[in-house]
A and B are shown apart, each in its own frame.
Chain A
């Protein structure tokens, strides 16, 4: 299995809703990432988990809350989002810390729209 699976593929939520994005990989990778990508822009790092521990938080607002229940799963809990949070949310995994020397395997993303 060489895939990163993200669910749901599309999500529309109101500003008062609570929702979660899910990411799963079975490649034995011990580093997992959340990236945010706005239209016609490169991905921007949000969080890095290394060996199930949060190792990097790029000053992301607290309305985004990551969770890594085990080495195969990564969640992103969403609460009280703003319309400007609408974007493609990408999950990735890698061997090694930060994918150094290996690169990342990305999921197909969740297209989030906040109304």
Chain B
């Protein structure tokens, strides 16, 4: 079965500093990978997705992620953090199973942005 591991439970950054949230995946087949963001008391919002078309994926709000097969990684980056980026971020992978596919989420990384 596919899985993802988010290496940091919390990441603090200063405003305007670069952001990197780390995600490693385990998959026996070419994976479909996603990053979602969740603001307090909200649902999850899709930031970006990797579907094998390009290794560098650009998403919303200035985020991007690079798929590195040799490192089994899909880290999320942003050149300059804004206060509004403070949220919980989930890396996810589509996992085939009997009956269809389901999305498996990592444990999440809380991004703190300091002024």
Contact = CB atoms under 8 A, between A and B. Distances in A.
Interface of A: 4, 6, 31, 33, 40-43, 45, 48, 50, 55-56, 90, 92, 97-109, 111
Contact of B32 (A41, A43, A55, A100): A100
B105 A56 contact: no
Interface string B83-99: 00000001000111111
B88 to A, nearest CB: 8
Interface of B: 32, 34, 36, 41-46, 49, 51, 90, 94-103, 105-108
Contacts of A104: 36, 44, 46, 103
B103 to A, nearest CB: 6
Contacts of A107: 43
B41 A101 contact: no
5 contacts: A41-B108, A48-B102, A100-B32, A104-B44, A108-B42
Q: Main SS of the interface on chain B?
A: strand
B100 A50 contact: yes
A43 B101 contact: no
A41 B43 CA distance: 13
B103 A99 contact: yes
B99 A43 contact: no
